[in-house]
Structures are given as C-alpha cells and as structure tokens.
Amino acid sequence: QVQLVQSGGGSVQAGGSLRLSCALSGITTDSVCVGWFRQTPGKEREEREGVAFIYIARGTTDYADSVRDRFIVSQDNAKNMVYLQMDSLKPEDTAMYYCAAVVGVRWLLRSQYEFDYWGQGTQVTVSS
C-alpha cells in the first residue's frame, strides 16, 4: 500500500526559508514521479498549482515559473524521502502544500490528475 506522509511547513516571514518532507512507503520501484502541489485559500482542489516535480529514476526535475530559482526538489533514495526546499519565500507562496506520487512511469508528469497518491498536506504561511 503506497503512502505519503508529509512533515515540515509552518510560518515564516517573507524572505525566509522552509523545508517540506515527503516520506514514501510501499513503493518498490524507482519509476516514480513525485510532485509538489499547492492550494491557496479560496481556491478549489481543481485549481491546485504544481510547483515542483522530480522523476526518481533519473533525478530529473522541473519547476513552475513562479518558484523557479527559489524552490529545490530533491530526493534521498536511502530514506525514501523527497524534499522541497523553499527559499526567498513570498506572501503569495502561502498555501497548503501537498506531495503526490505516480508509480510505474518513465518521465516527469505535471498534471495533478496524473498523480495517484497524495500526502495529507501541510500548511505554509508567509507573512509580509
């Protein structure tokens, strides 16, 4: 049974940093794409924004333009962990953040509808 358990997040002032963690279990292949998505207050689930993606087998990554050069997604295969390092945070980064995974794929995916497994979400609040 695939499970994703998130940790990290919290509140920080603009310009600060936070790191989110996503612990993956029940996955027996590295043909996995993990994405980080965020949902801002007042927006529906369908409006979740994908901000960072990593293909575990090759370590390839991609980012939304809104976070490029500020966020870094990384993996620790030994610990079955994926991280999202968020630097130079802005108030508009305030959102509920989710990690998600899709198994048995051969490249990066980016649409939330392609991801089968989701973490429980963690709140990130950036004050000005």
Q: pLDDT per residue over 91-123, tens digit each? A: 999 999 999 999 999 999 999 999 999 999 999
% of the chain surpassing 70 pLDDT: 100
Q: pLDDT per residue over 34-65, tens digit each? A: 999 999 988 999 999 999 999 999 999 999 99
Confidence tier at 8 by pLDDT (50, 70, 90) = very high
Confidence tier at 79 by pLDDT (50, 70, 90) = confident
Amino acid at 46: E
Q: Does position 10 have pLDDT exceeding 90, yes or no? A: yes
Distance CA 12, CA 29 (A): 36
Amino acid at 19: R
Positive or negative, the Cα torsion across 21, 26, 30, 35?
A: negative
Comparing CA positions, the residue from 47, 34, 57 lying closest to residue 96 is 47
The CA dihedral of 121, 123, 124, 128, to the nearest 10 degrees, is 150
Confidence tier at 25 by pLDDT (50, 70, 90) = very high
Residue 44 sits at the vertex; the CA angle it makes with 39 and 50, to the nearest 5 degrees, is: 40
- Residue 78 pLDDT: 87
Rg, C-alpha atoms of the chain: 14
Residue 85 sits at the vertex; the CA angle it makes with 105 and 99, to the nearest 5 degrees, is: 40
User: Which 8-state DSSP code applies to residue 75?
Assistant: E
- Residue 53 pLDDT: 98
